[in-house]
Every structure is written in C-alpha cells, then in structure tokens.
Amino acid sequence: MCPKEGKSLRKLDSGLPVAPKIFLNSSLDAACDYAQALSSFIPYSRVHETLNPQVPLYEDSDQHVIPVWANSSKVASEAASTARECQVKALKRGCNTASVFLCNDDTIKDFLAVDEADWPSNHITINVDGVPVAEVGKKIVKWLCE
C-alpha cells in the first residue's frame, strides 16, 4: 500500500552495526596506494582520497561500507589532529575508528615524538621503508583483527 500524500516513509534499520572508519595517513605522498592495498584485503570497503571537513565521513546509504580515508601529511601534529577530528565525527554517529600512520626512516621520529594522548584510540604507527605496499596492507589488517 502506498503512503498517503503528505506522509513520509519510515526509514528501516537493517539491524547491522555501523561500519568502522579507518583513517590512513602516509608521510610518503603515497596514501592512496597504501589505502587501495588495505582495501583489497577488506570486503565492503571503499577508499576516499580526500578529507574535507565540510563533507560527512559517510553517507547514510553507505553506513555498512568500511571507508578507508587516505590522507598525506608530513606534519605529525596536523595528522594527529585530523585523525582525532575523524574519530570524534565517527563516534557521534555511533561507530568506531582506527588510525594508521605510515612513515619512513626520515619521518618516523617526528611521528613518534607526538604525545601519545594526542593520537586517537586504536592507533598504530608503522615504518614502511623497504616493505612492499601489499605487505603493509596485510600488516594493517592483522593489527585490525587482533
């Protein structure tokens, strides 16, 4: 039966939990490559190549798709602040987050120097020097599943 004119349709809830959000920052200007590798190991995931504060973390229609947000920042405090902002927005929507920071030998000291309290919860920093992109993706998935 069709709804009467002027009445809105009720939104149905699937009963599934809202998918977690993954924020991946690379200080190597290759965030999208690493995000694509990570996404290839996670069913129902989608890579987003930019973080725009004006755009929501996800659309309601995508609430069961795991977004992998790719970000490239060489400034550790800026990356931590962006990750924290993503976490706050996701928690307001009732979902969890994980943040992954990829560094090399030149940048890892800067990222490890940031106060631990400034990073969001569920955070890992990985030195990716000499490690193939696909192996980094596998390592992140293993960490997520621990």
Domains of the chain: 21-145 (3.40.50.300)
The whole-angstrom separation of Cα 79 and Cα 73 is: 6
The whole-angstrom separation of Cα 39 and Cα 33 is: 10
The whole-angstrom separation of Cα 90 and Cα 67 is: 11
Residue 28 near residue 76 (C-beta atoms within 8 A): no
User: C-alpha distances in angstroms, 125 versus 52, 111, 146?
Assistant: 23, 8, 16
Q: What is the pLDDT of residue 131?
A: 93
pLDDT tens digits for the chain (146 residues)?
Answer: 444 445 444 444 445 556 778 888 888 777 888 999 999 998 888 888 766 545 555 555 556 678 888 888 888 888 888 888 888 888 887 788 888 999 988 888 888 888 777 778 888 899 999 999 999 999 999 998 87
